[in-house]
Amino acid sequence: MNKDLLSGFDLTEKDVANIFKQTKILKKKKISNVLNGKVAALVFQKPSNRTRVSFEVGARQLGAYSIYLAPRDIRLGEREPIKDVARVLARYADGIIARTFSHEDVCELAKYSDVGVINGLSDMYHPCQALADVYTVYENAGKFKGVKLAYVGDGNNVVHSLLAIGTKVGLSISVATPKGYEPDKEIWAQAVKISKKTKAKILHTHDPEDAVKGADFIYTDVWTSMGQEKEKLARKRIFKKYQINSQLLKKAKKNCLVLHCMPMHRGEEITDEVAESKQSVVFDQAENRLHVQKAVMAMLFKKHK
């Protein structure tokens, strides 16, 4: 495994398998001393619920300490150059978790840091989320080959990471987005290349019903992410037919399960009825962020002495 986890493309199929093996162990044995005495620095440009709490709790369960640097505390790239921040934090901490607006910022941190850097979210990728998502699929399906996940919504950082990691393990993925909101073309091309090796089937369509046909899992995300607030009204109109509701759910397999990376905007991208249904595994998925991230920290941060 590389020094850093910046995107799902940094991982090999073997890396993913090793992460999931560790995840299973750490989920059963919540308290471990694998990172005893280590320090994790959380550098956040965006506020967070799941990302911050899961990393802080995860670090503590591994025996490590965490330091949270809020947006107003560090002002990454404003008060001082990112390369200086990276080199100073590497002298103090054993690993860095960064939640940034720009993917270039987290890449620059990794470039100049001597310790491992984990991307906790950027505008292009959300690798830890996708690892938790794919692990949740495995927990419920018991396999990846022959399993179909349908994503309905915005072609955003979550989709990019699902494509990067899902195709590596042979998970078939169909994506339905409105016109003009497709996944990044270069990322899609990389996923297609990987899928040819792993025999995963990937499809893009503008029709949600087409995407969910035969799906074992349906996944959605908010229509308007942080930093896109000015687009909210337009996006609500454009994404209206991309809602995960009981009617769309009927177009998938009978026992299709529903995923959402949260926070959920109930009544927009997902109805309350579906979110609270027996087919929803969104809270299992949220819990798995904790365990997957523990596995990633254990594999990256213990390397530093």
The reported pTM is 0.96
> ∠211-269-292 over CA atoms, to 5°?
80
List Cβ neighbours of 266 (8 Å cut-off, separation of 6 or more): 272, 275
Q: Is the domain of 102 the same as that of 156?
A: no
Domain of 202 in residue numbering reads as 129-286
3 falls within a domain: no
Give the pLDDT of residue 303: 60
pLDDT at 274: 98
51 and 107 part of one domain = yes
- Rounded Cα distance between 284 and 295, Å, is 17
User: How high is the pLDDT of residue 46?
Assistant: 87
* Residues in the chain, pLDDT under 70: 303-305
Q: What is the CATH number of the domain that holds 96?
A: 3.40.50.1370
Q: Which residues are catalytic?
A: 99, 126, 129, 221, 261, 289
Exposure string of 78-112, with b = 16+ CB inside 10 Å and e = fewer, is eeeebeebbeebbeebbbbbbbbbebebbbbbbeb
Q: In what order do the strands lie in the sheet with 257-260?
A: 202-205, 172-176, 148-152, 217-220, 257-260
If asked whether residues 62 and 105 sit together in one domain, one would say yes
* Domain assignment of residue 40, yes or no: yes
| Whole-number pLDDT of residue 304 | 52
Does 99 share its domain with 216? no
Q: Judge whether 273 lies within some domain.
A: yes
Q: Same domain, yes or no, for 268 and 295?
A: no
pLDDT tens for 230-263 read 889 999 999 999 999 999 999 999 999 999 999 9
Residue 234 lies in a domain: yes
Mapped to the 3 state alphabet, what secondary structure does 128-171 carry? Answer: HHHHHHHHHHHHHHCCCCCCEEEEECCCCHHHHHHHHHHHHHCC
DSSP string for 281-304: -HHHHHHHHHHHHHHHHHHHGGG-
User: Total structural domains in the chain?
Assistant: 2
Beta strands across the sheet bearing 95-99: 65-69, 39-44, 95-99, 116-121
Q: What is the reported pLDDT for 72?
A: 85
Same domain, 201 and 120: no
Same domain, 248 and 298: no
Do 153 and 73 fall within a single domain? no
Phi, psi of 181 (to 5 degrees): -125, 30
